[in-house]
């Protein structure tokens, strides 16, 4: 079974009583999701989609380490007019389990990143084994 959980870094907000805007000024920006994502299940894999409009495939980095799937995209554009400079980046991490990490495949098309997360092969169920009670000679002395 796949479990995707968001990994949120702990936000640090400096609360200054002399700040003119107050804490509510930045609240809409903090609650906006960095990218929309969804997952569907088939018999053999989970199909994961993430919206990343405006990025090129070379600007998107996908990594898996210790059961955490991280999708990061960074865009640094400086136009021919040096007075205009635009930069944006998004990053989300998800915990995954029950996935064959070596078989993950990705495709980027029309602003949507499609990931195929193949399920791990379920290990064969082991049959219960009966353990005989001996006369104590097999146990190490204490």
pLDDT of residue 76: 75
Of 131, 101, 108, 123, nearest to 51 by C-alpha is 108
72 token code pair: 């990061």
Residue 33 lies in a domain: yes
Answer for the pair 89, 72: CB distance below 8 angstroms, yes or no.
Answer: yes
pLDDT (tens digit, 9 = 90+) per residue, 31-41?
A: 445 688 999 99
Residue 127 lies in a domain: no
Residue 69 lies in a domain: yes
| CATH code for the domain of 89 | 2.60.40.790
Residue 142 lies in a domain: no
Query: At 3, phi and psi to the nearest 5?
Result: -125, 115
Q: pTM (2 decimals)?
A: 0.60
Residue 138 lies in a domain: no
Domain count, the chain: 1
pLDDT beyond 90 at 48: yes
Domain span at residue 70 reads 5-118
pLDDT (tens digit, 9 = 90+) per residue, 50-85?
A: 999 888 899 999 999 988 999 999 887 665 555 555
């Amino acid at each position: 079974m796949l479990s995707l959980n968001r990994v949120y870094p702990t936000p640090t907000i400096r609360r200054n009583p002399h700040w003119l805007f107050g804490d509510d000024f930045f609240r809409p920006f903090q609650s906006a999701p960095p990218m929309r994502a969804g997952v569907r299940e088939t018999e053999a894999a989970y199909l994961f989609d993430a919206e990343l409009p405006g990025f090129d495939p070379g600007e998107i980095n996908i990594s898996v380490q210790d059961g955490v799937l991280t999708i990061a995209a960074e865009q640094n554009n400086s136009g021919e007019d040096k007075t205009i400079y635009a930069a944006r980046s998004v990053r989300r991490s998800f915990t995954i389990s029950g996935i064959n990490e070596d078989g993950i495949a990705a495709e980027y098309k029309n602003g949507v990143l499609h990931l195929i997360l193949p399920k791990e092969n379920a290990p064969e169920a082991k049959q219960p084994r009966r353990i005989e009670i001996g006369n104590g000679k097999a146990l190490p002395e204490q």
